[in-house]
Amino acid sequence: MPIPPVPMPNLYRHDLVANAPRVAGNGDAMAEAVDDLIRIMDGGAWVSSTADEYYAALTAHRSPCQAAGAVAAADMSTKAAGEPPLVNIENPAEAWKATWVSI
């Protein structure tokens, strides 16, 4: 009589859950970097028509940068919610999730 497979922890799901909060903060860090550049430009560090175009691009990127982390974290949380906490390692569609290595 064959032994039934033992479910293994879904390491992929674990990483999604564990890293979503960290990813959320990355958007704030990107927005801070853009804000720093805007402050430098506001201080007159570079004045020209090309600088004006660059400044417009910077200000246009501020909001998307702020939102990027939260959007990515929400995507990760949604993906994690659809993942089972345990996987069957004999199922090729799930086995990789038990051997997932975070880098």
Residue 2 inside a domain? The answer is no
User: Does 57 map to a domain?
Assistant: yes
Q: Is residue 77 part of a domain?
A: yes
Structural domain includes residue 19: yes
Residue 26 lies in a domain: yes
Q: Which helix (H) or strand (E) holds 9?
A: strand 8-9
Distance CA 60, CA 78 (A): 28
pTM: predicted TM-score of the whole model, two decimal places: 0.73
* Tens of pLDDT, residue by residue, the chain (103 residues): 777 778 999 999 999 999 999 998 888 888 899 999 999 999 999 999 999 999 999 999 988 988 999 999 999 999 999 999 999 988 889 999 999 998 7
Q: What is the DSSP string of 65-94?
A: HHHHHHHHHHHHHHHHHTS-SEE-TTSHHH
3 within some domain: no
Look-up of token digits 């990127």: 61
**Structural domain total, the chain:** 1
> Could you list the residue range(s) of the whole structural domain that residue 39 is in?
8-98
Contact 14, 87 (CB under 8 A): no
Backbone φ and ψ for 87, nearest 5 degrees, come out as -130, 155
Q: Is residue 1 part of a domain?
A: no
